[in-house]
């Protein structure tokens, strides 16, 4: 038996491995697909994407989402615009209102801080809490928020108005904050701040999404370290519903436009590694609109969720990458022997166990889901 295969056996038996041993397995996974990672059930969440503001105080080397207030594409949604989008989404069977936005723009843009002040808010997070509250009062959608690095008290406040939250860890490497690297001039991307936030979410019992970004200048060892850090947090708190394995895509006009995308073999090996490290502790998700390999190759490697897919709005973070047509996706997956079901932004486990979501959402959630915690067939939409 090859040394790497012996290691794989050891890992499958639940024995912990050294980082160098995971690196050996990573090399094996480039040319070998373990048969035990393939799920029978694949899920997605029917969502609408609301970029509450695209102003941001950070300047990630790969981002085209963030704008400066003086750019013509800078935009902050008013509450009536939010509710208009939500109304259309509801008519199309969406259940999740995903708020994704820039981080703390009020700290660097006085004109935006003034705009918030005129509306009666001291910060973007206060405005976000108000927006979620309005969505809860006027629709059947469940807010999920992804607003960057939050403090304990902000998360505690947000927990009352949104069903779940998320922040990408991206990577634990502090090297990526250095000059010329992806997170230069990005105070909110400091890995220690992100890890602290993920742990705080665990303490607050918030169903949580996180993930790593692959190909932003990190090395494979740092990827392994990132996955191990997430595993340690998940073993302690159990609140991480899903870990996204996202491939970097270079975009024109960004500092990283000339960086190479991760090679498909490397990316698939990273998915296998994530499944090996995290096992059944959480769900592995990969965005289907960014895929460079057939989607069933992702599934064979351990992905069992395709995240939020919207029938209404684009992926504002990756506007060049349209989401797959859901009817087509269902047909494709079923042709390859997978079941494809709709879930809410809160995964079944966190619905079945008490104490994960605020009581205010329980009525809506019970109406949507069946015994299995997935969306009832009568509400499912493809």
- Which positions ≥6 away from 79 have C-beta within 8 Å? 130, 131, 134
Q: How many residues bind ligand SF4 (CB under 6 A)?
A: 12
Whether residue 345 contacts residue 164, with contact meaning beta carbons closer than 8 Å, is answered with yes
- Give the CB-side neighbour count of residue 258, counting CA atoms within 13 A: 3
Number of Cβ within a 10 Å radius of residue 194? 21
Which DSSP state fits 323? P
Region near ligand SF4 per CB under 6 A, out of 15-23, 57-65, 214-222, 368-376: 57-65
State which of residues 32, 39, 59, 221 lies at the interface with ligand SF4 (CB under 6 A).
Answer: 59
CA torsion sign for 151, 166, 142, 316 is positive
Tokens of 111: 């004109």
- The residue (of 60 and 145) whose beta carbon lies closer to ligand SF4 is 60
- Only segment of 60-68, 203-211, 257-265, 291-299 that touches ligand SF4 (CB under 6 A): 60-68
Least Å distance between CB 100 and ligand SF4?
A: 8
Q: Does 129 bind ligand SF4 (CB under 6 A)?
A: no
Interface stretch with ligand SF4, choices 53-61, 193-201, 217-225, 332-340 (CB under 6 A) = 53-61
Longest Cα–Cα distance of the chain, Å, equals 69
Structure tokens at 141: 């959608």
With CB under 6 A as the contact rule, the residue among 60, 158, 169, 201 that binds ligand SF4 is 60
The single residue among 34, 46, 58, 285 that binds ligand SF4, judged by CB under 6 A, is 58
Q: Interaction with ligand SF4 in 328-357: which residues (CB under 6 A)?
A: none
Q: Of the two residues 186 and 227, which places its CB atom closer to ligand SF4 in the complex? A: 186
Q: Which residues pair with 341 in a beta bridge?
A: 43
Q: How many CB atoms lie within 10 A of CB 17?
A: 18
> What's the closest the beta carbon of residue 79 comes to ligand SF4, in angstroms?
21
Site string (159-188) toward ligand SF4, x via CB under 6 A? ---------------------------x-x
Considering only residues 90 to 119 of the shown chain, the ones binding ligand SF4 according to CB under 6 A are 102-103
Please enumerate in sequence order all residues whose Cβ is within 8 A of that of 257, keeping only pairs 6 or more positions apart, or say none: 250, 251
SS3 assignment, position 139: coil
User: Quick check: 63 binds ligand SF4 (CB under 6 A)?
Assistant: yes
Which residues of this protein are in contact with ligand SF4, per CB under 6 A? Answer: 56, 58-60, 63, 65-66, 102-103, 148, 186, 188
């Amino acid at each position: 038996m090859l040394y790497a295969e012996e290691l794989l056996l050891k890992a499958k038996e639940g024995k912990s491995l050294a980082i160098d041993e995971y690196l050996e397995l990573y090399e094996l996974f480039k040319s070998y697909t373990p048969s035990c990672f393939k799920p029978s059930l694949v899920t997605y969440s029917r969502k609408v994407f609301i970029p509450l503001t695209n102003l941001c105080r950070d300047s990630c080397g790969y981002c085209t989402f963030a704008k400066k207030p003086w750019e013509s594409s800078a935009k902050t949604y008013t509450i009536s615009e939010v509710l208009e989008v939500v109304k259309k989404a509801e008519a199309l069977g969406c259940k999740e209102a995903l708020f994704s936005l820039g981080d703390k723009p009020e700290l660097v843009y006085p004109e935006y801080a003034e705009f918030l002040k005129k509306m009666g808010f001291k910060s973007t997070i206060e405005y976000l809490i108000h927006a979620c509250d309005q969505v809860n009062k006027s629709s059947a959608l469940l807010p999920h928020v992804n607003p960057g690095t939050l403090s304990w008290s902000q998360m505690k406040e947000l927990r009352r108005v949104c069903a779940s939250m998320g922040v990408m860890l991206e990577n634990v490497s502090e090297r990526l904050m250095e000059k010329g690297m992806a997170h230069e001039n990005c105070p909110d991307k400091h890995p220690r701040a992100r890890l602290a936030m993920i742990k705080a979410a665990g303490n607050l019992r918030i169903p949580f999404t996180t993930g790593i970004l692959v190909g932003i200048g990190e090395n494979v060892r740092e990827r392994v370290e990132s996955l191990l850090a997430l595993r340690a947090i998940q073993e302690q708190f159990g609140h991480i519903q899903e870990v996204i394995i996202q491939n970097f895509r270079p975009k024109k006009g960004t500092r990283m436009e000339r960086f190479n995308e991760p090679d498909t073999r490397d990316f698939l090996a990273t998915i296998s590694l994530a499944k090996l490290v995290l096992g059944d502790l959480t769900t592995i998700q990969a965005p289907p609109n960014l895929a460079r390999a057939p989607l069933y190759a992702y599934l064979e490697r351990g992905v069992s969720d395709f995240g939020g897919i919207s029938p209404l709005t684009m992926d504002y973070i990756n506007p060049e990458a349209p989401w797959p047509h859901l009817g087509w996706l269902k047909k494709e997956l079923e042709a390859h022997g997978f079941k494809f079901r709709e879930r809410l932004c809160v995964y079944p486990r966190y619905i079945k166990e008490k104490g994960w979501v605020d009581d205010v959402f329980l009525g809506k959630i019970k109406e949507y889901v069946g015994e299995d915690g997935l969306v009832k067939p009568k509400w499912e939409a493809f």
